[in-house]
Each structure stands twice: as C-alpha cells, then as structure tokens.
C-alpha cells in the first residue's frame, strides 16, 4: 500500500556498494578482518561437518550481501541453498560469482582456507563448483516484513543462516525481536537457525560510507531468541582482539550461535 511506504531513506539500496564491502574479504590485508573471518569459518566448518553436523534438504541464507563464504561448509551437507538479500546490487554481485561472469570477486583464497579446514586444500575448485550447483536461487529479502521472502513461496527450510544482518537491518531492539519472529516462519518445526554477528556494534564502514548498526548485547540476544520461539543449542564468542582497533567498525566481540525452532 502506497500510504504505508517508509519515509526513511533507503540507505542500503542507495549506499551499500558491494565491491567496497568485498574489500573486507581479501585475506591477508587486515589482521582483524582475517581474525573475524577465521572465527566464522571455523565455526561453520564445525557446525556443518560431515560427521554429526547439521544437514538437510533446504538451507536459506538471510541477508547474504554479496558474499558466499558463509555457505562454503553448508554446501557439502544441504541439497539446495537459497541466497537472499535486500539490495539489487548485492544480488547481482552474487549472480556474477555464481555465473562466473567477468569481474566477479575472487573467493579462491577463502575457499582454499575452508578446504584446508576440511582436510583437502587442493579440492577448492571442486568446492566452488559444488556451491555454484547448490545455490538454486538468489531472492529479494526484507527481514522487517512479516513474510521476508514475499512474493516467493518456498517450502519451510531445514536450516537458516544469517550473518551480520540483524544488526544492519533492524533499527530498534523491538524490530530485531520481530525480525526473529519473521525468520522463524521460514523454518520447519525444529529447524535450525545459525546466527552470527558482532556484539555492541554501533557502525561499520563500507568504503567511505558509514552504516549505523543496532548494538546487540548477549543478554538481549539470548532472551529475544527464547521469547521468539527458539532454543539455543550452542553459543561461541570471541573478544575483539586487544591489540589495534579496527576503525572500520566498533564491535566489541563476535558471536556464533546455533538455535532450534521450538514447537
Ligand atoms: C553487513 S552486511 C552482511 C552481508 C553478509 N551476510 C556477510 O556476512 O558479509 C548486511 C546486509 O544486510 C542486508 N540488509 C539490510 N537491510 C535488510 C533487510 N531489511 N532485510 C534483509 N537484509 C537486509 C544488506 O543489504 C547487507 O547485505
């Protein structure tokens, strides 16, 4: 309905430049980015490992941005992955990599690192192909909407991943609780939510553009998940390293959690 359209400027559509954001993922250029990335990739590896890890038919990644690193372990244990993002440019950037188009970001150093964690660094090209085959669609998503993937109609997912998205998308803690409720509707009963991000972030930079973030505290996050119908199965944390701060963001720590839809 036209009258309900937000008057808040659409900062993500207007200002989030995927190629500038991808600078965070050039391994070896910034020790803090590397540490963040290693933390996440190790926990994805442990969560989706072949023996005893999460597996299933459909996994949906919520707020993928222009990135694929969060899917590199899961593509071994889920038959189909659907990537999603709010902005047109991010979805195009993802399609560029999926379709091997000229100018696509080179993820191979990150893919090699994940293959090394899995015990076979030299299989990186096969993993890239597997991921390309497994990602079936790249859809528009808005977690502030009751039905985040509307108008797409999907079967309920066995697993959702969402990384660095809640704090970017939600203007208030109330909106964040509502977003968790919206995400829950996309999951099978007892399906898993693999949620990660930074604690207490108030901003992050993408190129020369500053994005506000919703500072999330551990206590809030755990209570909000509980209230919105999830049971937390695992929570891993890491402090922001003491030496040197990253002027591109002010997060105080990182979290990686696995929760399950409670029914
Ligand atoms: C910091 S980026 C994270 C991207 C990626 N998940 C990663 O881990 O690098 C935040 C993402 O949230 C997306 N976003 C912003 N508002 C959103 C909304 N209302 N619904 C879904 N995604 C949103 C942005 O387009 C952006 O890609």
Q: What is the pLDDT of residues 183-203, one digit of tens each?
A: 999 999 999 999 999 999 999
Q: Domains of the chain (ranges plus CATH)? A: 31-261 (3.40.50.150)
Indicate whether residue 251 lines ligand 1 (CB < 6 A).
no
Q: Does 120 appear as a known binding residue?
A: no
- How confident is the model over 95-117, as pLDDT tens digits? 999 999 999 999 999 999 999 99
- 174 Cα to the center of ligand 1, angstroms: 18
Q: Is the C-beta atom of 196 inside 6 A of ligand 1?
A: no
Give the C-alpha separation, 90 to 182, whole Å: 22
CA-nearest residue, atom 19 of ligand 1? 142
Averaged pLDDT for residues 215-224 = 98
Distance between CA atoms of residues 131 and 125, nearest Å: 10
From CA 7, how far away is CA 11, in angstroms rounded?
A: 11
Q: Is the ipTM of this complex over 0.90?
A: yes
pLDDT at residue 80, as a whole number: 98
> 201 CA to middle of ligand 1, Å?
14
Ligand 1 close to Cβ of residue 60 (< 6 A): no
Residue 21 assigned ligand-binding role: yes
- CA nearest ligand 1 atom 27, residue: 65
Ligand 1 pocket test: pick from 165, 167, 202 the residue with the most ligand atoms within 8 Å of its Cβ.
165
Please state the atom number of ligand 1 nearest to the C-alpha of residue 196.
8
End-to-end alpha-carbon separation of the chain, Å?
33
- pTM (predicted TM-score): 0.96
Question: 120 C-alpha to center of ligand 1: Å?
Answer: 31
**Per-chain mean pLDDT for the chain:** 94
């Amino acid at each position: 309905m036209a009258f309900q359209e937000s008057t808040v400027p659409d900062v993500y559509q207007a200002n989030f430049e995927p190629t500038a954001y991808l600078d965070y993922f050039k391994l070896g250029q910034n020790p803090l980015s590397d540490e963040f990335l290693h933390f996440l990739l190790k926990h994805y590896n442990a969560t989706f490992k072949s023996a005893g890890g999460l597996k299933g038919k459909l996994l949906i990644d919520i707020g993928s941005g222009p990135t694929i690193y969060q899917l590199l372990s899961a593509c071994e244990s889920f038959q189909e992955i659907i990537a999603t993002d709010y902005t047109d440019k991010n979805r195009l950037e993802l399609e560029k990599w999926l379709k091997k188009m000229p100018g696509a970001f080179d993820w191979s150093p990150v893919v090699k690192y994940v293959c090394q964690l899995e015990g076979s660094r030299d299989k990186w090209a096969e993993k890239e192909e597997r991921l390309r085959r497994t990602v079936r669609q790249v859809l528009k998503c808005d977690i502030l909407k009751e039905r985040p993937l509307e108008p797409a109609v999907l079967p309920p997912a066995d697993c959702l991943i969402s990384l660095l998205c809640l704090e970017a998308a939600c203007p208030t803690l109330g909106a964040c609780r509502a977003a968790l409720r919206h995400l829950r509707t996309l999951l099978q009963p007892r399906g898993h939510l693999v949620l990660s991000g930074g604690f207490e972030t108030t901003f992050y930079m993408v190129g020369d553009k500053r994005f506000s973030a919703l500072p999330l505290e551990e206590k809030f996050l755990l209570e909000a998940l509980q209230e919105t119908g999830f049971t937390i199965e695992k929570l891993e944390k890491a402090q922001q390293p003491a030496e040197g701060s990253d002027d591109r963001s002010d997060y105080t720590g990182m979290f990686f959690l696995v929760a399950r839809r409670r029914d």
